[in-house]
Chain A
Amino acid sequence: MSQTVPVRLVVNGEAHELEVEPRLLLVHALRDRLGLTGTHVGCDTSNCGACTVHLDGQAVKSCTVLTVQADGSEVTTIEGLGSPEKLHPVQEAFWEHHGLQCGYCTPGMIMAGADLLKRTPDPSEEEVRRALEGNLCRCTGYHNIVKAILDAAKSGDTGQVEEPEPSQEGREAAQEFASEGLGA
């Protein structure tokens, strides 16, 4: 085993410390190390978007981010966007409008959709379609995904489509990480 590096992440509001190989992809850290298997892998080339998570509040493809690059960052995955008890408006809209079939691309689609609405609370259909250019779906033909995101936008509050609130502990940990060097 080659070099390992300590990494600290706040994932869905919870602080984690990991010792990782530099090459460990963020998606594998989330899935294999933290057990957050809602984030999927669908390609090798940053095309399909199934692995989309929010990194410090922005949608990224976690298959193309090294875990070490995310050190000190906040990550939100599909598990943290909403819960079965309290769905995020985009999750709710995907359910209501049949925006998913097999469900495999869905976490990435929802994370991309939520990211769009955070920045563009009232998008046109064209804007929604462009925002999803990096997310592939084979089941739905996109029709109902687009409809769901447009409807989530209409449901209001989309300017404040919320990320999960980090716990107090998570917030402190994040601040502490940010102020420290890596020591590598």
Chain B
Amino acid sequence: MIPAEFEYCAPDSLQEALGLLAEGGEDAKPLAGGHSLIPLMKLRLAFPTLLVDLRRVPGLTGVSRTDGEFVIGAMTTHSVVEHSPELGLLARAAGTIADPQVRHRGTIGGSLVHGDPASDLPAVLLAAEGSVTASGPDGERSIPAGELFQDYMETAVAADEIVTEVRLPALDGWGFGYQKFNRRAEDWAMVAVSALVLARDGVCEDVRIGLTNMGSTPLRARAVEEALRGQPIDADRIASAAEQAAEGTNPVGDLNATADYKRHLARVMCRRALQEAVGAG
């Protein structure tokens, strides 16, 4: 399987890249690692007319920490994220993406902008209440995770914008858990649950839960969060709160999982992720 024809450029600066993207119009796309886009192009499910390869644009890779947050270059690979334990939940989730070869090429920015609700990182960003920074013709803006994911494979990043970095609150002291359910290690999540818990003296001070593949976008399990926030946290309370994990979700059934089954998995994985987060906290 072979991609259809397209034009290609690899500019040396962000400004140049933005200019080329603007000129290229609707069907021009930035290219990061290509591990979301190239497979679609090979199956001829995506037909960009121009790819603006970002690999020469300086400053788009690496993980650094400012005061309260991590700044991760958009072109940072999953492999680098996976091996940055300071990133906690994000590192853990990145280590479950596809396989080592894919993690060597796929990038955090590419994955987030692709906006596939079945991929691992969107729900993690949502749970962690991170953001992406996008540059466009009118300058730079920050898009919080809660606004980033608009619909199935549709994000708030405009066609003429390029995501340059991902910002992730440091969440010092929070425990985390990541429970991904799939048939094979290499597969996308049938359902995955990201849990972040800030517990002190047995009380849940704050909690955030992200759901993967439970609707057309990544979701928060708000009902579970509310049931736990401010409450003493123990196995029973986690179990009963997790029963609400599927509230407000709208999963799509497929050959390997009916919608009912996905809701069930969300509850089970939510409980397990919370237990893991509390254990790890």
- Chain A min CB distance to B248 (Å): 32
Q: Does B185 contact A (CB under 8 A)?
A: yes
Cα(A71)–Cα(B42), bound, Å: 20
Q: Does A49 contact B (CB under 8 A)?
A: yes
**Residues of A with C-beta under 8 A to B186:** 47, 133-134
Q: Does A84 contact B (CB under 8 A)?
A: no
- Our pick among B1, B6, B104, B184 for the contact of A59 (Cβ within 8 Å) is B104
Q: Does A3 contact B (CB under 8 A)?
A: yes
- Our pick among A2, A46, A59 for the contact of B39 (Cβ within 8 Å) is A46
Q: Does A5 contact B (CB under 8 A)?
A: yes
Q: Does A15 contact B (CB under 8 A)?
A: no
Q: Does B12 contact A (CB under 8 A)?
A: yes
Question: A59 to B101, Cβ gap below 8 A?
Answer: yes
Q: Does A25 contact B (CB under 8 A)?
A: yes
How many A-B residue contacts, CB cutoff 8 Å? 99
Question: B100 to A3, Cβ gap below 8 A?
Answer: no
**Which of A60-68, A97-105, A137-145, A152-160 forms part of the interface with chain B?**
A60-68
CB interface residues, B 241-263, toward A, < 8 Å: none
Cα(A135)–Cα(B186), bound, Å: 9
CB interface residues, B 24-55, toward A, < 8 Å: 31, 34-35, 38-39, 41-43, 51, 53, 55
Question: B100 to A59, Cβ gap below 8 A?
Answer: yes
Q: How large is the interface on B (under 10, 10 to 19, 20 to 34, 35 or more residues)?
A: 20 to 34
Chain B residue, CB-CB nearest to A130: B185
**Residues of B with C-beta under 8 A to A31:** none
Q: Does A81 contact B (CB under 8 A)?
A: no
- Type the 1/0 row for A68-95, where 1 means its CB is closer than 8 Å to any CB of B: 1101000000000000000000000000
Cα(A60)–Cα(B34), bound, Å: 12
Question: B38 to A60, Cβ gap below 8 A?
Answer: no
Q: Does B79 contact A (CB under 8 A)?
A: yes
Question: B8 to A5, Cβ gap below 8 A?
Answer: yes
Question: A23 to B5, Cβ gap below 8 A?
Answer: yes
Question: B9 to A60, Cβ gap below 8 A?
Answer: no
Q: Does A58 contact B (CB under 8 A)?
A: yes
Question: A134 to B3, Cβ gap below 8 A?
Answer: no
**Residues of A with C-beta under 8 A to B39:** 45-46, 64
**Residues of A with C-beta under 8 A to B55:** 69
Cα(A22)–Cα(B118), bound, Å: 29
Question: A68 to B101, Cβ gap below 8 A?
Answer: no
- Chain A min CB distance to B277 (Å): 23
Cα(A23)–Cα(B47), bound, Å: 11
Cα(A94)–Cα(B206), bound, Å: 51
- Chain A min CB distance to B101 (Å): 5
Question: B100 to A71, Cβ gap below 8 A?
Answer: no
Chain A residue, CB-CB nearest to B10: A182
Cα(A181)–Cα(B101), bound, Å: 27
**Residues of A with C-beta under 8 A to B2:** 23, 25
Question: Would A115 and B35 be within 8 Å (CB), given that A44-B42, A45-B43 are in contact?
Answer: no
Contacts A2-B6, A23-B6, A133-B100 known; list 13 others, CB within 8 Å: A22-B5, A25-B42, A45-B39, A46-B35, A58-B79, A64-B38, A66-B8, A66-B51, A131-B100, A181-B12, A181-B56, A182-B56, A184-B10
Q: Name 18 A/B residue pairs within 8 A (Cβ), A-sorted.
A: A2-B7, A5-B8, A23-B2, A23-B6, A45-B42, A46-B39, A55-B104, A55-B105, A59-B100, A60-B104, A61-B102, A64-B39, A64-B102, A65-B38, A66-B31, A66-B34, A116-B100, A184-B8
Q: Report the 6 A-B pairs with minimum CB-CB distance, sorted nearest first.
A: A134-B99, A22-B8, A44-B1, A133-B185, A58-B104, A23-B3
Instruction: List residues of A whose CB falls within 8 A of some B CB.
Output: 2-3, 5, 21-23, 25, 44-47, 49, 52, 55, 58-61, 63-66, 68-69, 71, 112, 115-116, 130-131, 133-135, 181-182, 184
